[in-house]
Amino acid sequence: MISLACETCGAPMAAAEAFCAKCGAAAPAGKAALLQMARAEQAWEAGDRSGATAQLERALKSGLPQQQLPLAWRKLGVWLEKEASESGKAELLARAGQAFKTALSLNDADEMAHQLFIANWGKQGLMSQARDYYQARLQADAADAVALKQLNVIKLSADFLAMRPPSPAPIEPQNALERWLKPSPWKVGMAGLTLVSSVVMVVVSLLHAPATAAPLGDLAGFGASVPMPISLESILYDPGAWALQGGFSALLLYFMYRSR
């Protein structure tokens, strides 16, 4: 928050004071602009984004003290970017870039302003123009350490953006059932083969003519004969058993698909 202080003795001053209560000196130059900047910060903290940026722009036009200007322009750029992000107004990004550039023209040693300026042009898709800006400075002065440093920053940023994000490490199954359902080529192949063969055998079993059961002969002398209850052929051509096996294979394939 902006606070007023006497330029002579440094004592704090209230907004309504025209003279310092401690030493009697006049209020600092640009008092109205400083108060405007204070109101802008209050509006920002209250969530009034557009109102805050408008107040800050008015403060910049009202004659802020020279030492306040670089920070105020940098702050305006940050606020405009925030407002652009929340409102989706892309034109605010360009205004933010101009604010950062103005801050740099007032204080070229402000490392944060350089980083914000480069990031802003990157968001606008104008990173090549930011590179041209610093290259032009370096051509004009080969000893421009700031331009050389920022060109390296731009190169590192471009290299970072070009890198493919690392693939997340696969999560290993935690229990025996999950490990058993984790798909592998041989598991999928066996389940698929079982499903296909079960479907084929269901069709074959339905088309197969049932064999006549052989009598067991006289039981306990009563002269009665009964058919054999179970035979290998009846088991082999049981469509229900094959359908059950096929359904189990299909269910297994489904769970393995879900566990990929």
pLDDT digits (tens, 9 = 90+) for 154-194: 888 777 656 666 666 666 666 676 776 777 787 788 888 88
Which has more confidence, 158 or 2? 158
Residue of higher predicted confidence among 216 and 128: 128
Contact 213, 227 (CB under 8 A): yes
Structure confidence at residue 141 (pLDDT): 92
State the pLDDT at residue 59.
87
Largest CA-CA distance found in the chain, in angstroms, rounded: 138
Token pair belonging to 65: 């003290």
Tokens representing residue 177 in the block? 């059932």
pLDDT at 222 over 60: no
Q: What is the pLDDT of residue 103?
A: 95
* Percentage of residues of the chain with pLDDT beyond 70: 72
* pLDDT for the residue numbered 195: 81
* DSSP string across 108-166: TT-HHHHHHHHHHHHHTT-HHHHHHHHHHHHHH-TT-HHHHHHHHHHHHHHHHHHSPPP
User: What's residue 19's pLDDT?
Assistant: 64
pLDDT value of residue 169:
63
Alpha-helix residue ranges (DSSP H) falling in the chain: 31-45, 49-61, 69-87, 91-106, 111-123, 127-140, 145-162, 176-181, 185-207, 232-236, 239-258
What number is the average pLDDT over the span 194-218?
71
Residue given tokens 């940023």 in the structure block:
157
Residue listed under structure tokens 């914000």 = 116
What mean pLDDT comes out for the span 85-101? 91
Mean pLDDT of the chain: 79
Which pLDDT does position 1 carry in this prediction? Answer: 46
The pLDDT, as a whole number, for residue 147 is 92
Between residues 144 and 23, which one has the greater pLDDT?
144
Confidence label for 100 from pLDDT (cuts 50, 70 and 90) = very high
pLDDT given at position 14: 64
Residue 220 burial (CB count, 10 A)? 6
Q: Model confidence over 113-165: pLDDT tens digits? A: 999 999 999 888 888 888 999 999 999 999 999 999 999 988 887 776 566 66
Q: Measure the CA dihedral 16/21/25/31, to 10°.
A: -20
Model-wide pTM > 0.75? no
Whether 42 shows a pLDDT value over 80: the answer reads yes
Burial pattern 45-78, b for ≥16 Cβ within 10 A else e, equals: eeeebeebbebbbebbeeebeeebbbbbbbbbbe
Contact 227, 214 (CB under 8 A): yes
Q: What is the mean pLDDT of residues 35-51?
A: 88
d(CA 46, CA 62): 23
Structure token pair of residue 255: 């769970």
Which of 69, 259, 245 is CA-nearest to residue 174?
259
